[in-house]
Amino acid sequence: MTAGGKDVLDWTGARWDLFSTSAVLRGRAREMAEKLGGEVASGRLPFLSLPFMPELEKRLAELESGLLGRFRHMLLLGIGGSSLGARALQKAFAPGQDLPGHTGKCLWILDNVDAATLETHLLRLPPAETLVYVVSKSGDTIETIGQYFLVKDWLRRELPDDWKDHLLLNTDEKHGYLRREADTFGLTTVPVPDNLGGRYSAISAVGLVPAAFLGIDWRALVRGFREVADPLAAPGLDAAGLAAHPSFEFAVWGKSLMDAGYCELITFFYIPQWASFADWFAQLWAESLGKNGQGSQPIPAVGVTDQHSVNQMFLDGPRNKACLFVERGRSEVDAPEGLPFPEDLPEIFEYLRGRRFGELLPAEALGTRMALCRHQVPLAGMRLSSADEHAAGKLMALCGAATLLTGWLMGINPVDQPAVELGKRLAKARLGAQGLAEEKAALAAFTSGGDAAQEF
């Protein structure tokens, strides 16, 4: 249980006995602390040190009292790290638009290139009540820019006199196509700081602008994030300080798992409204660590839904899986939540009499956690004293720092994504972009290799 209202990372079921490299990895705390200090001092880890936050907090307050308050709908154009954090925050803390009878603010996210979905949004959204938030650090992400061209055309057609007032761009302060667009048309912008990669950017304007629009307590998010991140970014961090930080123990566990052949990491969220944080973490972990033939595959899972779909594989499949189990801690004095069950229950369900519907979730969580441990699945339990914005900020900082440190223990760069960039270049080559001769030659060879298809 979560004692004294604390958020805890419980290692009871971690199965350290299976790992032969954990002691050696812990012995690298001094090396990791020195590297962390150097990277922070050089400005290469803004997601931890948040040097941009004082100015951003002022900007968000201005937007809250001005631009954001004028619209009922926000249409976010962004993909990957430009949208996953915003979606997780909306689903967790502003889920009203997913429920019957909602009349408040709505966030719509276009994070793919499905033509029908884009057209439907433009047909149904009222342009006069819609703010379009375009998120691309480089300013030339083809999926996002392709959407931007069409949405900009929609706004100009529907609102010829004030279309520019319905665009907010989040992009590099100096470079890229979106920056040129902003300068040409005088569009409102918020910056993406240097060295801030998309998957590490949720606690920046990328995720906090949609949060502010929806009325989410973004200040509590930032406070929670700082509570975990500040000790890691503090000058003078030494080996003992890092070794005592839960992110380092998480990193040691993560690398130890890989060394022992545990190549899949289940993120089992037993806070249903937080299910999208599992998708946010999946990109963070996979894109950061899947390099040079190394890494472990993150597998998002939601309790209790996935007890009835994929948990059989987790429990009785190959012994290559570990689990990060996220739930809300409950003390004995917590009042049960939810509607009470009626008294006239069938005898077979007599055990539910006098109980409330909200008691099912923690019971199911306990049962699944015990079953995973009994089937010898290594498990780290993250239990939160509350499912609020402050706790979410802490979780995001812990996961981000742990991912970074795991990558360094692996000997790879956890803030680049070279393989992903290849796919982007090939897609541009297929669409006829100038240059890219090598990619075009490779495409020609790939697409002329015959068709080994079988009808079904």
Q: pLDDT tens for residues 312-353?
A: 999 999 999 999 999 998 654 455 689 999 999 999 999 999
138 pLDDT above the threshold of 90: no
Of the residues 216, 251, 276, the one at which a domain ends: 216
- Which of 375, 424, 428, 440 is the catalytic position? 424
Residues 362-374, mean pLDDT to the nearest whole number: 95
What is the mean pLDDT of the segment spanning 361-369?
95
91 in a structural domain: yes
Contact 335, 312 (CB under 8 A): no
Cis, bond preceding 377 (omega within 30 deg of 0):
no
326 touches 268 (CB < 8 A) = yes
Question: Which domain, by its residues, includes 163?
Answer: 46-216
Higher model confidence: residue 446 or residue 346? 346
My answer on whether 24 and 114 are in the same domain is no
What's the one-letter identity of residue 378?
Answer: P
Task: Indicate the average pLDDT of the chain.
Answer: 94
Q: Are residues 134 and 27 in the same domain?
A: no
Same domain, 197 and 276: no
Q: Which pLDDT tens digit goes with each residue over 160-205?
A: 999 999 999 999 999 999 999 999 999 999 988 999 999 999 999 9
**Same domain membership, residue 157 and residue 22:** no
375 is catalytic: no
Catalytic annotation present for 287: yes
Of 249, 287, 327, 439, the catalytic one is: 287
Does 190 lie in the same domain as 129?
yes
Q: What pLDDT, on a 0 to 100 scale, did the predictor assign at position 439?
A: 85
Residues 282 and 380 in one domain: yes
Whether 266 is covered by a domain: the verdict is yes
Question: What residues contact residue 233 under an 8 Å CB cut-off, 6+ apart?
Answer: 40, 45, 48, 49, 50
Q: Are residues 366 and 308 in the same domain?
A: yes
Q: Is 422 a member of any domain?
A: no
Q: How far is CA 189 from CA 56, 60, 167, 182, in A?
A: 12, 12, 9, 7
- Residue 448: which pLDDT band, with cuts at 50, 70 and 90? confident
pLDDT in tens, 388-439: 999 999 999 999 999 999 999 999 999 998 877 788 788 888 888 888 888 8
Domain-located, residue 87: yes
Q: Does residue 286 surpass a pLDDT of 90? A: yes
Q: Is 429 among the domain residues? A: no
Q: Confidence band (pLDDT; 50, 70, 90) for 451?
A: confident
Q: Check residue 330 and give its pLDDT.
A: 67
Least confident of 27-41, 77-91, 371-385, 424-438: 424-438
pTM of the predicted protein model: 0.94
The more confidently predicted of residues 450 and 275 is 275
Q: Are residues 17 and 89 located together in one domain of the fold?
A: no
pLDDT given for residue 336 in this prediction: 61
- Are 184 and 272 contained in the same domain? no
**Exposed/middle/buried for 344, CB within 10 Å: 0-12, 13-18, 19+?**
exposed
**pLDDT of the residue at 121:** 98
Q: Higher-confidence residue: 14 or 427?
A: 14
308 catalytic, yes or no? yes
Asked if 35 and 79 sit in the same domain, the reply is no
Query: Which of 166, 192, 216 corresponds to the end of one domain?
Result: 216
Active-site residue (options: 308, 332, 347, 350): 308
Residue 420 resides in a domain: no
Cα separation values, 427 from 116, 430, 439, Å: 20, 5, 9
With a CB cutoff of 8 Å and minimum separation 6, the contacts of 14 are 253, 378, 379, 380
Higher per-residue pLDDT: 141 or 365: 365
Answer whether residue 3 shows pLDDT above 70. Answer: no
User: Which whole number is the average pLDDT over 232-244?
Assistant: 97
- Same domain membership, residue 57 and residue 20: no
Q: Is residue 415 part of a domain?
A: no
Residues 392 and 406 in one domain: yes
Whole-number pLDDT of residue 335 = 55
Q: Given this model, what pLDDT does residue 333 score?
A: 46
Total domains in the chain come to 2
CA dist 326 and 56 (Å) reads: 30
Q: CATH number of the domain that 234 lies in?
A: 3.40.50.10490
Q: Is there a domain that residue 444 lies in?
A: no
